Structure 1
């Protein structure tokens, strides 16, 4: 039952937001009593913490799998983008923004774990891109990797990039083009063109 509660809660949090979803909503969706939920999770904060951890593990494992395929580094970037968009579903809500606002401690812990995972993946991607002549060999790999991570956090800030002006798909698509154009060689740019021919709409 604990796993069923966790799956249902995670789905609701992603679609409706961490703040608006109540324990009653989760109980109703599962057809169980609130008391049953509290037998497994002491309060909503504990449930949010477990749900974000579960989601983090799922996304991290997926990214690790994509990285293990050792695709063309530029294709790898777009494959990860697509995978993350499919799993976070943040067109309807802004999970990361809400987590930061209403559950700052959980957000801080997850951000720290995300940084460790992404640094390994991004640094590997950058080094392979340089080796294959797709990225400029003059770039500062550690600097670019840290900048990339922080930029991916910032573009999910709904105060800075409101959904009515910037859809998640469009803003990530635009940022990836911006990022890759800054580090690609002419050879890399030729490959990049294959991924930017169809630009997502705002909505």
Structure 2
């Protein structure tokens, strides 16, 4: 039943913002009573944290699966960024804004998730460098920080493209950051091979959507 409640609450929060949605709104949209709701959650804050954690756990699972399907560390690096972007773009800017402002514990959970993602990316860049894909002197930590910053800026930063940009615009910017910025750290000897790999990935993904 928790999964049902959290799914319904997630949809309401995305549409209206978590601050505006009441427990009565959530109960009215689910087959549970108010009493049953409080048997499962102490309050709305606990629901939001549980819902956010479920969302992030699903993101981790998808990232792990995306990485395990690839034989090349560099392709895994691109794949986990693609999955991250695809999953996190489900969130609305109003949801992000209100969670940041009113529900700091959920923000802390996202920060932990972000750290997990950064560690995975660092591992794949390091493996790619050892395999000769990445320029020897590249600053791995700097690359990962910039990638995540840029992707998050598109999704829920000052650009606010969730509300103002078209889906194609968002996908195009995400693709440019993931594919082109990663190309910038590839060694000259591997550029042509990288372009071939990415061409196949673009066919597989269609777009970063």
Q: Please say whether Structure 1 and Structure 2 have the same fold, judged by a TM-score greater than 0.5.
A: yes
Return closer, same or farther for 1:141/1:44 CA change in 2, 3 Å cut-off.
same
Residue 173 of structure 1 and its aligned partner are, at CA, apart by: 1.8
- Which position in structure 1 is the counterpart of 2:36? 36
CA distance in 2, matches of 1:104, 1:69: 35
- Which position in structure 2 is the counterpart of 1:189? 195
Of Structure 1 and Structure 2, the greater helix share is in 2
- Residues 171-193 of structure 1: CA deviation (Å, up to 9, x unaligned): 32222134213212313234334
Residue 12 of structure 1 and its aligned partner are, at CA, apart by: 3.9
Unaligned runs of 5+ in 1: none
8 Å contact from structure 1 (residues 66, 76) kept in 2: yes
CA distance in 2, matches of 1:174, 1:18: 32
8 Å contact from structure 1 (residues 10, 51) kept in 2: yes
Residue 20 of structure 1 and its aligned partner are, at CA, apart by: 4.5
Residue 40 of structure 1 and its aligned partner are, at CA, apart by: 1.6
Residue 110 of structure 1 and its aligned partner are, at CA, apart by: 1.9
Number of equivalent positions: 200
Higher mean alpha-carbon deviation, 14-23 vs 154-163, is at 14-23
- Which position in structure 2 is the counterpart of 1:122? 121
1:1-203 correspondence runs (5 A): 1-14=1-14, 17-84=17-84, 87-88=87-88, 90=90, 93-94=92-93, 95-107=95-107, 109-163=108-162, 164-165=164-165, 167=167, 168-185=170-187, 186=191, 187-195=193-201
- Residues 154-202 of structure 1: CA deviation (Å, up to 9, x unaligned): 332253233322544333222213421321231323433444589859x
Question: What SS class does the counterpart of residue 10 from structure 1 fall into?
Answer: helix
Return closer, same or farther for 1:158/1:54 CA change in 2, 3 Å cut-off.
same
Return closer, same or farther for 1:158/1:142 CA change in 2, 3 Å cut-off.
closer
8 Å contact from structure 1 (residues 74, 192) kept in 2: no
8 Å contact from structure 1 (residues 129, 135) kept in 2: yes
CA distance in 1, matches of 2:143, 2:50: 31
Unaligned runs of 5+ in 2: none
CA distance in 1, matches of 2:207, 2:82: 12
